[in-house]
Amino acid sequence: CSEFGDTNVDPNRPSSPLTSGLLTGAERSVSDVIGSAIGVLYVQQLSEKQYTEASRYQDVYFDFNGFYTGPLMNLQRIIKLNTEEETKGDVLSSGSNENQIAVARILRAYFFGVMTDRWGELPYTEALQGELDFSPSYDSQEFIYTDLLKELKEAADQINFETAGVEGDLLFSGDMNKWRQFANSLRMIMALRVSDVAPEMAKANFTEAYSNGVLGADFMYPYLAEANNQNPWYGRYLTRVDYAISDTMYDFMNPLGDPRLEVYADPAANTGDIEPMPYGVSNTVAGGITNASVSYLGTFNRKQNAELPIVTMAQIHFSLAEAAVKGWISESAEEHYNMAIESSFRQFGVFDQAAFDAYVAQPEVAFSSSMAMERIASQKWVALFLQGYEAWAEWRRFDYPELAPAVDAMNESKMIPVRQAYPTTERDINSENYDQAVARQGADGLDTKLWWDIK
Amino acid sequence: QSKTISGIVTSSEDGLGLPGVSVLVKGTTNGTITGIDGDYSIQLPADRNILQFSFVGMKSVEVTVGNESEINVVLDPDVKALNEVIVTALGVSRDDRSVGASIQSVKGEDLTATRNSNVVGNLAGKVAGVQVIGSSGAAIGGTQNIRLRGINTLGGGSPLFVVDGTPISNTSISPNNDAAGRDYGNLAADINPDDIESVSVLKGPSAAALYGNRAANGVIIITTKKGNKKKGLGIEINQSTTLENVYVLPEYQNEYAGGYTQDLLTFSYDPNIHPESWASFDGQKMLNYAADESWGPKMDGTMIRHWDSWLDGPQFGELRALVPQPDNVRNFFDTGVTTNTGVSFSAGDALSNFRVSLNNINQKGVMPGSELSKNNVSFNGSQQLNDKLSVGLNFNFTGTNAHGRPASGYTGRNPVNSFNQWFQRQIDMDRLAQYRNPDGTYRSWNIRSPLESRPLYWNNPYYEAYENAPEDSRDRVYGNFNVSYKLTDALKVSGFLRTDFYNQKIEERIASGGLDLDFYSVSQRIGREDNYEILLQYDKMFGEFSVTANAGGNIRKNLYSSMYEGTVGGLAVPNYYNIDASVDRPSTDSYKSTKTVRSVYGNVSVGYQNTIFLDATLRNDWSSSLPKANNSYLYPSITSSFVFTELMGGGGSFLSFGKLRASYAQVGSDIGPYEIAQIYNVSTPYGSFPNLQVPNTAANPNLKPALSSSYEAGVDLRFWNGKVNFDLTFYRNDNKDQILNLTVPGSSGFSGALVNAGNIRSEGVELSIGGTPIQKRDFSWDVSLNLAHNTSKVIELAAGLDNRQLQSAYWGMTINAKVGEEWGTLIGTGFKYADNGLPIINEDGSYAIERNKDLGTTLPTATGGFTNTFRYKNFDLTAFIEFQAGGQFYSVTKMFNAYSGLGKETAGLNDKGSPLRDPVEDGGGVRVDGALEDGTPTTVYVDAYDYFSGMFGLHENWIYDASYVKLREIRLGYSLPAKLVNKTPFHTLNVAFIAKNLWLIHTNVPGLDPSEFGSGANGYAYFESGQLPGVRSLGFNVRIGL
């Protein structure tokens, strides 16, 4: 009576994995990072048009579980299947073992990097162990950053151009050289992030990563002209008009005659001009402004298949400019600064030599060694348009440009968030580890500064 | 000198003459019995004047004879007859006295008094311990959920439905809880209530052990009508026509129009963007049409441009007064019409019987454009082939087609969501009814600006109702073929082939040209369950001992398959509703599953002197879905009953019958298929790249069956020969080792893990009191009261876990299983109170909040029903009241009704006599009483918009007590007197006025019906959002016997 043969074998889902499919799944999640609106709102690149709660910091708790159970678990599984003797031979159709592992490690470092910049301490070493550990403890952000920089170095070194590149790779089509460049670029950016708190580690990693070769072109997420893989901003404007260019952004760009403004925002229906929306005002005030009188996010960035940046050349050059200012590299800070702005102009399709020359010649823009960091920070803020989490992290590091909190802020401190709180599930079901993390790091709210944010 | 009295005795059940009724002259041995048509004639001695009429299963009647010589008597069935026969597990009919577990029966006619078409809804309040969580009549056949004795599994769970021994599916095809979507009903609604002879509710696992692992939540045993010899042709016709109207709606404010500020907008002509012809409009007053809130200008009659005056058509350019439209929402709905027509044919003799019934229901709902039709054929027949062998067939077919089933929940598809949560109060429904522009495009009130007529948030509700209407159809077949052979006088063997099959197809659409991308989807679900069953039955007396024994074996096979296809990226050809029209690669899903459970079982019942009974069962199941090592599980039950009045000489005139009963039982439960092996999920592809995902739930190859144990004890008492019946039951269920998808920290890489853990303990008491306080020849009064109190407490979850979130509702409110508390703890954001109990108010006048606060539990503390039936001469009146006490729920409707300035409480005057909505500095604002952090009482006035919008997400403010009292049903009938009927081709004729949902006598949430917010597949029923309005139904019913 106990024998049921194949009755309980699931015919609907595969029981053996295709690691290229796991990689595709993980890479699609990159869109969740770069397409998110919340960081864009924190740094006031855009304003909400009607229901303005998010830009008034109403949300405190943000869920990280999806990153772990989604892309990170996929990547962890790719590494496992390519590592264990009994399975590593079965997954070679998706690329050589070492290249699959390297790509998975790079992407894992990318996701963990974004996550730790949002929440700080995270389950890291003990995370992703599945049924072996249902209560992972937290690691300090210092530990995480140290390990991520090491991971990126090792993964870049692990790439083997002699063996098959990865399959299912929608980001680089299996081009292992680009993966190495991406790993080095990411390592450079992450090193710079910790440069205030751990200057030695930052410098060593930065210079080594740079000398190993960084990206030579903007690294963009390739959205498709189809609903399943479309630009998330496109989806947000299908039925609603929730996001308009902020007065903060407008007030910075407009006086400088920044040609990118015409790309960042569409003309208002009523006037045909770019008209900003005040940032962080109450719903009543927002409701008093008619929809036809403000400028929404520019069509350039929200076409169905409009690409969105993951890492841009502008970022690379701003980073190098900053490294030059710090004396880590012996190149011209000004040159990189100008190249960064030029790269940004090119990224948004507005590059014209004469216009660019005129723009950077303005005293408020022109590189100044006495105000090097302020210049870099402000211009980087403009260039990181729609790269919300990155822009927010850099703003926290630079504390520049000076942003006033939402006038009708809903959080208790009324300050711009410098962190996001852990999902409530952690407090409920991983409470011991959660409590320890909070004890080390500080209150689990929006106002606790991260380890690297010492200024 | 004696005189001759004659007359006819009829049954109140069907109005037919009753043959074989004993007629006795009281105080003598003079008697007779009625003839085939119920006629009798008897000699009454001069010194006697009382006749007694009695019949098995009917209540006896005494008639005092005056001068008349003709006395016609109507006998009522005696529901609580002393030797009631009830249907128990395995379809075995047993004398009530031998049953040691709580089984409550309802007769078919008590379920169909008002022709409610869903058997589940009909059980509300009629059986102690049953809680029905209904859905609005506007949902045309929406899900009615049922709970027996609270909650016995973490995920809720509902009882098993068994019709004539065949288990049938009662799956709900609807989104979980009140999540956005459409409710296609629960599958038990395919049963035609007119076919039901009786319903037995086996409440605990004790009576249900023989139905196996799905009986842990109780069993609803439905016995259908069989053919028997009747007067006339054996044809019955039952027709009803009812009209339905919306009657429960929130109270709206009728002072302020749409907008965010009280100032009227002024149109200012700009030659650069406006047509030249608009120049004359310059300076005209208008509203903020793009707003979907009602914080706008006063509706004071000012001439303004309404939304439609900017659209093409004769109304273009019109200035109309800004005046209130208090009934605009009500005006949106139609008057529904339901016709329910049934015909049955039956015949029978000693060797054979058959019954065929046909039923048709046509329903036009109150939601514009919604309609449903349901056709049902059923057949019941059996034939004795010789004195040993008999065969029988039970066959039921139901075909349902519906169009435009309304959406519920927080979605643009649900017009009620707009009316009650996001709307402008001044809108004139008649203007909206014209939902197309002259060029055929759609128009909505929510235009973005005079120049841009595309709606911002909301389509026209009529567009939603008429153009986005879904289509669905379901074919359902269930029944059994059986053969039975008498081996000896005491031993019988029977075999059954049983099947239950449904095929449900649903097409949903969004028409081209509305706010959202046009869309089409088609889905199909096919469910099938086959049971192969063999049963040996033994029944013999050994002196003072009676022995009945059953032994059986069963193989159950469940097959399920589903397919879904939906367009992605819109329709390539407008309004071409086909998957071929998908602009992008359509999303598709196909699924199939099989599961087999093999069982052997048996029971032995021994009775001594018809006084003491002992009953034991044993069952072993083998389930294909459990790991092989753990897939066999055995569980017993033991019950006993003791008719103690037998020791007192068979019962006296006061206490006529008394029984004590006790039972203990276990039931094992398994899991769904395919949950124990590691697999990968296939997700949305990128171009031609497939996308695989490691599943979020860790598989567990070591699962074992869950076990529930139940203890029950009760007493049945009947007084004055059944004039008053009293039935009291205490029970406790321990539901251990539940197979639950444990929520684990996502950082492990999984969000859930299947484990055996936990214990939920349900305890309670059930009471039913019934009787016939008055029983006279011309007048009788029957009354019955059901009352139940239940607690379902979470005793333990998994090790180290003291809270499990079951589901999360809109905006962060969650329902939880929390150790030490009742199942269904609501957790959300609440007020922060000072030590003296006053809510703390922040500097800016807003309430201080406390997150993750325990806000009560969703299970009611008591449920029940109260039925009164009066009979006077040929009239009968039934009134049924149902009630519930306690249980908390969260109302999103109320939250946004206030947030968006639609609700009554958002307008009017404050305690200073100033308009609430005036600025605080002008004496307006909402008075807020509270305290400072240290408890010092304080009072502040807060701007009305800030106050009500500030309540968004403050869940505690929107938690309501779900207690209600409801006059659910009324039936006032009149049976044509025999004399008159005899002159017609009919032999019975009854006409009745029927009413459903007549009066919501009590609710703590004005404008919402707490008995109807729980539609949905999981039946958690702890919140509502965009609940469809309550519907009242009035009509007539005609029953004819031929």
pLDDT digits (tens, 9 = 90+) for B462-512: 999 999 999 999 999 999 999 999 999 889 999 999 999 999 999 999 999
Higher pLDDT, B703 or A397: A397
Is A33 within the bounds of a domain? yes
8 Å CB contact between B583 and B569: yes
Partners of B749 on chain A (C-beta within 8 Å) are 68-69, 72-73, 76, 127-130
pLDDT band at B31 (very low <50, low <70, confident <90, very high): confident
Question: Which residue of chain B comes nearest to A291, CA vs CA?
Answer: B448
Residue B617 has pLDDT above 50, yes or no: yes
Mutate to test the interface with B, among A53, A62, A65, A270 (most CBs of B within 10 A): A65
Residue B230 has pLDDT above 70, yes or no: no
Predicted-complex ipTM score = 0.93
Question: Which residue of chain A comes nearest to B754, CA vs CA?
Answer: A131
Q: What is the Rg, in whole angstroms, of the alpha carbon atoms belonging to chain A?
A: 23
- Collapsing DSSP states into helix, strand and coil, what is residue A361? helix
pLDDT band at B151 (very low <50, low <70, confident <90, very high): confident
Mean pLDDT of B403-422: 94
Question: Which letter, b or e, does each residue of B573-600 get, where b requires 16 or more Cβ atoms within 10 Å of its Cβ?
Answer: eeeebeeebbbbbbbeeeeebbbbbbbb
* B751 with A64: Cβ contact below 8 A: no
- Collapsing DSSP states into helix, strand and coil, what is residue B208? helix
Kindly report the nearest CA distance between residue B569 and chain A, in angstroms: 5
Distances (CA, A) of A2 to A71, B626, B701: 39, 10, 16
∠ Cα A139 A143 A145 (to 5°): 115
Split into its structural domains, chain A has a count of: 1
A130: nearest CB among B691, B748, B805: B748
pLDDT of the residue at B466: 97
Mean pLDDT of B410-433: 96
Question: Which residue of chain A comes nearest to B270, CA vs CA?
Answer: A270
* B748 with A7: Cβ contact below 8 A: no
pLDDT of the residue at B81: 45
Partners of A227 on chain B (C-beta within 8 Å) are 517, 568-570, 583-584
Mean pLDDT of B62-91: 73
* B747 with A272: Cβ contact below 8 A: no
* B680 with A70: Cβ contact below 8 A: no
Tell whether A8 lies on the interface with B, counting CB pairs under 8 A.
Answer: yes
Question: Which residue of chain A comes nearest to B623, CA vs CA?
Answer: A2
Residue A165: what are its φ and ψ, rounded to 5°? -70, 175
pLDDT of the residue at B206: 65
* B805 with A425: Cβ contact below 8 A: yes
pLDDT band at B82 (very low <50, low <70, confident <90, very high): very low
Distances (CA, A) of A173 to A399, B934, B1024: 38, 63, 48
* B745 with A64: Cβ contact below 8 A: no
8 Å CB contact between B579 and B586: yes
pLDDT of the residue at B80: 45
CATH superfamily of this structure's domain B3-75: Carboxypeptidase-like, regulatory domain (2.60.40.1120)
Question: Which residue of chain B comes nearest to A230, CA vs CA?
Answer: B569
pTM, 2 dp: 0.89
* A134 with B448: Cβ contact below 8 A: no
Q: How far apart are CA B534 and CA B552, in angstroms?
A: 5
* B749 with A12: Cβ contact below 8 A: no
Is A7 within the bounds of a domain? no
Mutate to test the interface with A, among B519, B694, B743 (most CBs of A within 10 A): B694
Q: How far apart are CA B61 and CA B776, in angstroms?
A: 7
Question: Which letter, b or e, does each residue of B682-697 get, where b requires 16 or more Cβ atoms within 10 Å of its Cβ?
Answer: bebbbeebbbbbbbbb
Mean pLDDT of A184-205: 98
pLDDT of the residue at B478: 98
The region of weakest confidence among A429-438, B233-242, B445-454, B738-747 is: B738-747
A226: nearest CB among B585, B674, B750: B585
Residue B417: what are its φ and ψ, rounded to 5°? -60, -40
CB atoms within 10 A of CB B115: 27
Partners of A54 on chain B (C-beta within 8 Å) are none
pLDDT band at B34 (very low <50, low <70, confident <90, very high): confident
The predicted-structure confidence for B316-354, as pLDDT tens digits, reads as follows: 999 999 999 999 999 999 999 999 999 999 988 878 889
* B624 with A4: Cβ contact below 8 A: yes
Kindly report the nearest CA distance between residue A119 and chain B, in angstroms: 13
CB pairs under 8 A between A and B: 241
Is A255 within the bounds of a domain? no
Residue A332 has pLDDT above 60, yes or no: yes
Give me the half-sphere count of Cα atoms (radius 13 Å) on the Cβ side of residue B371: 7
Tell whether A21 lies on the interface with B, counting CB pairs under 8 A.
Answer: yes
8 Å CB contact between B302 and B266: no
The predicted-structure confidence for B894-911, as pLDDT tens digits, reads as follows: 999 999 999 999 999 999
How is chain B split into domains, by residue range?
Answer: 3-75, 119-245+336-410+462-824+859-887+962-1041
Tell whether A443 lies on the interface with B, counting CB pairs under 8 A.
Answer: no
Kindly report the nearest CA distance between residue A22 and chain B, in angstroms: 5
- Measured between alpha carbons, how far apart are the two ends of chain A, in Å? 71
Kindly report the nearest CA distance between residue B807 and chain A, in angstroms: 12
Higher pLDDT, B800 or B381: B381
User: What are residue A10's DSSP bridge partners?
Assistant: none
Which residue range(s) make up the domain with A310? 19-228+305-441
Kindly report the nearest CA distance between residue A239 and chain B, in angstroms: 6
Q: How far apart are CA B112 and CA B587, in angstroms?
A: 43
Mutate to test the interface with B, among A94, A121, A228 (most CBs of B within 10 A): A228
CATH number of B119-245+336-410+462-824+859-887+962-1041: 2.40.170.20
Q: Which ranges of B322-377 would DSSP assign to H, the alpha helix?
A: 328-332
DSSP string, B930-961: EE-TT--EEEEEE-HHHHHHHTTT-GGGGEEE
B691: nearest CB among A15, A25, A133: A25
Partners of A22 on chain B (C-beta within 8 Å) are 680, 692-694
Partners of A1 on chain B (C-beta within 8 Å) are 598, 622, 632
The region of weakest confidence among A146-160, A369-383, B291-305, B630-644 is: B630-644
Q: How far apart are CA B102 and CA A193, in angstroms?
A: 70
B674: nearest CB among A8, A25, A122: A8
Q: How far apart are CA A257 and CA A355, in angstroms?
A: 9
Kindly report the nearest CA distance between residue A269 and chain B, in angstroms: 8
The predicted-structure confidence for B132-146, as pLDDT tens digits, reads as follows: 888 888 999 888 888
Tell whether A273 lies on the interface with B, counting CB pairs under 8 A.
Answer: no
B291: nearest CB among A67, A122, A287: A287
- Collapsing DSSP states into helix, strand and coil, what is residue B482? strand
Tell whether A173 lies on the interface with B, counting CB pairs under 8 A.
Answer: no
* A170 with B569: Cβ contact below 8 A: no
8 Å CB contact between B873 and B978: no
* A12 with B684: Cβ contact below 8 A: no
Kindly report the nearest CA distance between residue B850 and chain A, in angstroms: 12
Average pLDDT of chain B to the nearest whole number: 90
Please name the residues between 53 and 92 in chain A that touch chain B, using a CB distance below 8 Å. Answer: 58, 63-70, 72-74, 76-77
* A227 with B624: Cβ contact below 8 A: no
Q: What is the Rg, in whole angstroms, of the alpha carbon atoms belonging to chain B?
A: 32
The predicted-structure confidence for B948-976, as pLDDT tens digits, reads as follows: 999 999 999 999 999 999 999 999 999 98
The predicted-structure confidence for B280-295, as pLDDT tens digits, reads as follows: 999 999 999 999 999 9
* A15 with B678: Cβ contact below 8 A: yes
User: What are residue B606's DSSP bridge partners?
Assistant: B547, B614
8 Å CB contact between A120 and A143: no
Q: How far apart are CA B353 and CA B384, in angstroms?
A: 9
B687: nearest CB among A129, A133, A224: A224
B746: nearest CB among A229, A284, A425: A425
* A136 with B747: Cβ contact below 8 A: yes
User: Looking at residue A387, which CATH number applies to its domain?
Assistant: 1.25.40.390
Tell whether A13 lies on the interface with B, counting CB pairs under 8 A.
Answer: yes
